[in-house]
Structure 1
Amino acid sequence: MSEASAPHTADRRELTAAQRNAVAELLRVSPVADELGRRFVRAGHELHLVGGSVRDALLGRLGDDLDFCTDAHPDETLGIIKGWAESIWETGREFGTIGAQRGGLRLEITTFRAESYDQVSRNPVVVYGTSLDEDLRRRDFTINAMAVSLPEHRFTDPHGGLGDLAAKVIRTPSTPRESFGDDPLRMLRAARFAAQLGFAVHPDVYVAMTEMAADLDRITAERIRDEFTKLLCGADPIAGLRLLVDTGLAERFLPELTGLKLEIDEHAQHKDVYEHTLTVVENAVSFEEEGCDFILRMAALMHDVGKPATKAVGSDGRVSFHHHEVVGARLTKARMKAMRYPKEITAKVTALVALHLRFYGYGRGEWTDSAVRRYVADAGDLLPRLHKLTRSDCTTRNRRKAAQLAADYDALEDRIGRIAAEEDLARVRPDLDGNAIMELLGVPPGPVVGRAWKHLKEQRLEHGPLDRDAAEAELLRWARAEGLID
């Protein structure tokens, strides 16, 4: 951390290499960016590539979304880009932002800002600024407070962002307390950038995050949710999660994560649940095939949150967590609802938490074909994620035990594959549909048909497919037992 406090001492060769990367990236998009810059200059205004676009250019990973700032107000910006942009949108107009598309690039052009914040909601109150320096100073971190003026490509870095980028440190342009006082969400953004970029926060930033963690309570659940989602989908989510817990930020919106730090008994009768959880998240990331699977990562993070409430010590001194998956599913649903996640995503994560222990016991040879069918039916389209979550949950250091668990799950997947090939397990349905049930029993649509359908599905899961005659015979047997027919 000592080097981080003096980022200007970074090796000049590193900075030169970073600048070369930036020039190469800027040249890739310069025809569009420079055209836009010339239009603003001809209209008597400034235009600067700024923020994350400059940071990513310096990191050699500039994308197709470019951010610009200007002294032009939104109406003036619209007049400059009309007839040039292929499409224009004004959804961010109240914040001074006009969006446009040109040459396959998405451009966001924002009037210089010198915003202040509502002291209750901490939402930004837009006040237009008058200079680039003023705009850069109000930004969250120095690595996002650099600009390239267009079309001349002049580089502006008043707060040492280039040095911080080379030193891989997250620092604020103003004092951390002033910056986080303006917008407490920036504390969560610091953790998010640690996860996305693999950077460390400056010691002063860390102290402010710890001392001001309670200020996060003033931020809306939706804004917190969006930042946390980006953090969990970062290249190194573990770094971001540790920072949330260590600074106390997690306690403000995800206390279940902090709660996993159970006291370890002197005889070490249970593993460190917090460290185990972080390892499971790390394992889950390794199973992803392309991009971030937020549902899988969130299920990995929450899979053991029921353990603190279910911890019990037996007469032999051994620790148990009976039914923690049930409690964990309930806690997960409540927490994700509080964070305003969509119902569909919440339901999927909750289902994975509830199912994550179902596999254990398979290796003892206790599973019938019926149990396999129910496993697949209960997982539904979550089965591929359940496979990954279950494998991720194996964190034992006992190599023999780990190898046995892996072999058992390989055998289960093979067995699922064999039964699926025979029975189309992806769509387990009764052998008679509703129309056939009504015709055979002579009943109209209603609750009886639903009960009969459910019974036949249970038979399908228990015994596999039945032919038409056997299915009809089973339906009639059930109906007689229910007193529906003589």
Structure 2
Amino acid sequence: MQSVAAALARLGDLAASPTVSRLANAFAAAGHELALVGGPVRDAFLGREINDLDFTTDATPDQILAIVKPIAEGHWDIGRAFGTIGAKISGETVEITTYRADSYDGETRKPDVVFGSSIEDDLMRRDFTVNAMALRLPQLTLVDPAGGIDDLMAQTLRTPAAPEISFGDDPLRMMRAVRFVAALGFTLELDTAAALEEMSDRIQNISAERVCEELSKLLRSNTPRAGLELLVDSGLAAIVLPELPALRLEIDEHHHHKDVYQHTLTVLDQAIEYEVARQNLESPDLIVRLAALFHDIGKPATRRLEPGGVVSFYHHDVVGAKLAKKRLRALRFDNDTINAVALLIELHLRFFGYTEGAWTDSAVRRYVRDAGDQLERLHILTRADVTTRNRRKADRLGFAYDDLEHRISVLAEQEEMAAVRPDLDGEAIMRILDIRPGREVGEAYRYLLEQRLDDGPLGEEEATRRLQAWWAGREV
């Protein structure tokens, strides 16, 4: 946390930048107010990188356009109905929004858009006090009607208005509260936390797409665990992500197993650490994090209490993959993400057979083939899934996976395994067997692929011999 003086100095430097100074001068010359607002002001106090430039003004959208057109390389008015105009100025993208004084009907999160005339009123209708601060330009005057600086210093998240009113106006703010707890490391003010729990069912008024967007932002934060715990404890998860609280399985006095809920959060923590450390994926990686969060959601449905105090979860990988697809579709994730997450969940237990006996090269090839373009993510998820406190067991599993990755690397160098294909393609198969396109070509192709996976590259001559022998001996 930076001091007020240091934050204001940083904001002063930002105000002197070409983009901000050109905007400030243009609005002042036109006789209109302009202020840097929200996230940039908050992040200046937190010492965080400032990425987005958001402004607010008393000018109407038409007036904003008239002011920015002469100084912008480009502009757009896709948010015009809500008072927002976007522009690119001195190479930077900015958004400028007219003061708002919206009213809500209490049933949906879509407000009746009403433009306001006061920056103080505009700030008081925002989500949290730490986001309800502004810097007047070009005067460099800080506007903080809700006590955002005090809350920043106390690392507290609080709504400017009464939380019942704020969450009632826009229930999506409850999801944003969860995200900011994770992203900022803040705690919820007591009344705000109580309202979150009491009003959690209001999240049902929000579209799945908007919930998906907030959940994705939460998972992309550096430390999402605190936010996910709040999501569960507040009751929000029971509505938007019920598979997560369902992991808190009852443990009776005769049957014992690890706490699946806490295990899942630890796997997510460790997956993020591996994701960052390995640097083979762009971080944050949403697919890795979703797979870590969902990897054991099949356990509640497959739990069996066996004799002798044993608890089993047979086929929870397959069941979990199906449940993950269903939930991610309901949340409107895209198909590529859904399929990737489901594949990782389905494969996340495959490695543990490696420690029970040495895999053949054929088994290693199949592991790579089945993972496809998700292999690096599977490496991360599988390593992260080791949460045992038994150091000897953890080391044994870690060394075993090191060995597996080494063998994959060696085989890849020898065979270009990432693109494993039969030695003969479909056209060659049809020519050798003198058959036309159809089901038989596919059967022959799959036979040759199995031969390739079992024995490595065969060469055209040997592949032809095996193909002909298979064709002659097959049952018609």
TM-score by length of 1: 0.94
Per-residue deviation, 1:376? 0.5
Residue aligning to 2:371: 379
| RMSD over equivalenced CA pairs, Å | 1.4
Count of matched residue positions in the alignment of Structure 1 and Structure 2: 470
**1:96-133: CA deviations, max 9, x gaps?**
10001112321100011111234333223311111101
Aligned match for 1:361, one of 345, 350, 353? 353
Residues 481/118 of structure 1: CA separation in 2 closer, same or farther (3 Å cut)? farther
SS of residue paired to 2:307: coil
* 1:195–1:232 Cα contact (<8 Å) kept: no
Q: Unpaired segments of 5 or more residues in structure 2?
A: none
* 1:26–1:57 Cα contact (<8 Å) kept: no
Residue aligning to 1:396: 388
CA distance in 2, matches of 1:308, 1:424: 40
1:309 equivalent in alignment to 2:301: yes
Aligned match for 2:13, one of 6, 9, 27? 27
Aligned match for 1:278, one of 265, 273, 296? 265
* 2:15–2:137 Cα contact (<8 Å) kept: no
Aligned match for 1:109, one of 96, 109, 113? 96
SS of residue paired to 2:75: strand
CA distance in 1, matches of 2:56, 2:224: 31
Pairing of 1:50-89 with structure 2 (within 5 A): 50-89=37-76
CA distance in 1, matches of 2:247, 2:237: 12
Per-residue deviation, 1:57? 1.7
- Per mean C-alpha deviation after superposition, the further-off stretch among 176-185 and 290-299 is 290-299
**1:339-373: CA deviations, max 9, x gaps?**
00000011111110110000002122242111111
* 2:255–2:305 Cα contact (<8 Å) kept: no
The share of aligned pairs that are identical, in percent, is: 53
1:293 equivalent in alignment to 2:285: yes
* 2:15–2:138 Cα contact (<8 Å) kept: no
1:334 equivalent in alignment to 2:326: yes
* 1:121–1:219 Cα contact (<8 Å) kept: yes
CA distance in 1, matches of 2:363, 2:12: 58
Per-residue deviation, 1:34? 2.6
SS of residue paired to 2:369: helix
Residue aligning to 1:8: none
* 1:25–1:62 Cα contact (<8 Å) kept: no
- Per mean C-alpha deviation after superposition, the further-off stretch among 37-46 and 116-125 is 116-125
Pairing of 1:195-206 with structure 2 (within 5 A): 195-206=182-193
- Per mean C-alpha deviation after superposition, the further-off stretch among 125-134 and 384-393 is 125-134
SS of residue paired to 1:107: strand
* 2:231–2:237 Cα contact (<8 Å) kept: yes
* 2:264–2:296 Cα contact (<8 Å) kept: yes
* 1:64–1:106 Cα contact (<8 Å) kept: no
CA distance in 2, matches of 1:131, 1:21: 24
CA distance in 2, matches of 1:477, 1:209: 69
Residues 85/425 of structure 1: CA separation in 2 closer, same or farther (3 Å cut)? same
Pairing of 1:84-483 with structure 2 (within 5 A): 84-267=71-254, 269-288=256-275, 289=279, 291-482=283-474
* 1:170–1:190 Cα contact (<8 Å) kept: yes
Q: Which amino acid aligns with 2:384?
A: S
* 2:39–2:52 Cα contact (<8 Å) kept: no
SS of residue paired to 2:54: strand
Moved over 4 A (4+): none
CA distance in 1, matches of 2:189, 2:447: 62
CA distance in 1, matches of 2:255, 2:162: 44
Per-residue deviation, 1:92? 1.1
**1:151-184: CA deviations, max 9, x gaps?**
0101110110001011111000000000000000
